[in-house]
Amino acid sequence: MNLAHLLQRSARTFGHRPAVFLGERLLHDYATLADRAATLGQALRARHGLQPGDRVGLFMSNHPAVLEILFGCWWAGLAVVPINPKLHAQEAHYILAHSGAALAFVTDDNGPGLAARPPQDSALRAIISVTQDAYASLLSGQALSAPESRGPDDLAWLFYTSGTTGRPKGVMITHRNLMTMVLCYLADVDAARPQDAALYAAPMSHGAGLYGLPLVAVGGRHIVPASGGFDAAEVLHLARHHGNVCMFAAPTIVKRLVDQAEAQGEDGTGLKTIVYGGGPMYVEDIQRALRVMGPRFVQIYGQGEAPMTITALSRAHLMDSAHPQYAERIGSVGVAQTAALVRVTDAEGRDLPLGEVGEVLTRGDAVMAGYWRDPEATSRALRDGWLFTGDMGQLDAHGFLTLRDRSKDLIISGGSNIYPREVEEALLRHPGVAEVSVVGEPDPEWGENVVAFVAPRPGTALSASELDATCQAHIARFKRPKRYVFVEALPKNHYGKVLKTELRERLGAAVRPQP
């Protein structure tokens, strides 16, 4: 089993089909893309001496070359180490050194920083910019006749976690893991078709890049925006131009896209499917998205340790507003994907009754092999085949999973459990609230107090009293924030997730006084 067979198969069967676009411009059909990948794979083996199982880093902004490098590495039996292009060069060097990567491909926006200070303990032999002659020369030789034979449990994708609580860990994702993800996408997320197109507006080093694989499997198109990233107006334009566009986006990106569509008086014409995940999508936000853009949305829940493949909330469920449990379902992350088992347990791993909140566990062929060179972390996360996700949630009688929070974000005040998302959902009902994030603050009497960081909508003046009134109308009194901190915007990482660790660090000094 080698994921490169997906590209080889599509190139043989649909070689004439358009494969890669930069903006509106066609670069390669499938026959050309496969030839470039196979030629690159041969060059990595013959010129750089790489052997099956060796690791290759990708420290690249979104670029058409990402696809041919990804499949070229797999064609040669190598494993890819995707690195968020917005990381500092020192952070990227740590990942390259820890993974033992032999080569790194870069784009010109981050290549010089990486080359300036290579660490002494790195196994890195070369740093190759995809815009330089050294890269072009790799595509000028002979091509490997067939993908290297790989076992289903061989490493394919060594993904490093965000590392918000220390050094990032390398998540070992195998060919089996990603093939399972592909099949679950086709079964549970979206029935991809040859006329569909994957649009890479979110980082290709993360879920957006992985969700290109199902489109390769069916011979669909791949579009890298000319901007190289997310620009809401550009996304809407490319969707209208190409049609049948599918994309993965964090909830914060979905919000910005909906804002732009509403401002332009559009409904997202040309967008077939927007898959959202990677953070909480609040009920108010998805309801607005559905009003503005209609039935284009699917939610998935996964982790780096179970890439994109734990649960899914289908567009049918999102649009079934007549269902008696619709309000609860739209706030859930859906039901277990076809190849995943899901449980909710107590701290000892015992199943909890339906409706009770506990830790979410998952098992299946999408779950990682473990953490790279970290057996202790692996043994904590994987027990008897089950991945302990660290997320808190509850299951209902129909299999719908509702996430509450990360276990580390749970607030215990006066002996009562308070889930920040519940408070955030209540505060977002206030029309003047643009963003909110709730964290716990140590308190000698109560254990923890609830603190809400609130970003008002532009031109809106908010007061603690009116936010209190909003909370009082929707949640129990003991869950109300003891303090509000008003900020212009919430801090986020490169994938759009709110950095609650940073918010906790800010608690010593309020950003703006409470009115």
Rounded CA-CA distance 157/104 in Å is 14
Q: So where are the chain's domains?
A: 4-395, 410-506
CA–CA separation, 55 vs 82, rounded Å? 10
- pLDDT of 422 reads 81
Distance (Å, whole) CA 215 – CA 34: 14
pLDDT computed for residue 408 by the predictor: 72
CA distances from 467 to 280, 429, 446, 476 (A): 21, 10, 22, 14
| DSSP bridge pairs for 407 | none
Measured distance CA(298)–CA(246) in Å, rounded: 11
Fold exhibited by the domain 410-506: GMP Synthetase; Chain A, domain 3 (3.30.300)
- pTM to 2 decimal places: 0.84
Residue 118 is predicted with a pLDDT of 65
Tell me the pLDDT of the chain (515 aa) as tens digits. 899 999 999 999 999 999 999 999 999 999 999 999 999 999 999 999 999 999 999 999 999 999 999 999 999 999 999 998 888 888 889 899 999 999 999 999 887 778 766 666 678 999 999 999 999 999 999 999 999 999 999 999 999 986 544 678 999 999 999 999 999 999 999 999 999 999 999 999 999 999 999 999 999 999 999 999 899 999 999 999 999 999 999 888 899 999 999 999 999 999 999 999 987 788 989 999 999 999 999 999 999 999 999 999 999 999 999 999 999 999 999 999 999 999 999 988 899 999 999 999 999 999 999 999 999 999 999 999 999 998 989 999 999 999 987 767 878 786 667 878 889 988 999 999 999 999 988 877 777 889 999 999 999 889 999 999 999 888 878 889 999 999 999 998 766 778 888 898 888 644 443 44
In whole angstroms, give the CA distance from residue 251 to residue 158: 25
Distances (CA, A) of 7 to 35, 67, 484: 10, 10, 52
User: Which residues sit opposite 442 in a β-bridge?
Assistant: 448
Place of tokens 């500092």: 88
The tokens for 341 are 């088992």
User: Which regions of 31-71 does DSSP assign to beta strands (E)?
Assistant: 55-59
Contacts of 85 (CB under 8 A, 6+ apart): 59, 60, 61, 62, 107, 109, 110, 203, 205
CB-count burial class (<10 Å; 0-12, 13-18, 19+) for 310:
buried
Distance CA 436, CA 451 (A): 10
Across the beta sheet with 483-486, the strand order is 433-443, 447-456, 483-486
pLDDT at residue 513, rounded to an integer = 38
Distance CA 114, CA 94 (A): 11
C-alpha 84/C-alpha 61 separation (Å) is: 8
* Alpha helices (H) along 76-149: 89-99, 111-116, 133-138
Amino acid identity of residue 31, one-letter, is A
pLDDT, position 217: 98
The fold of the 4-395 domain, in CATH, is: Rossmann fold (3.40.50)
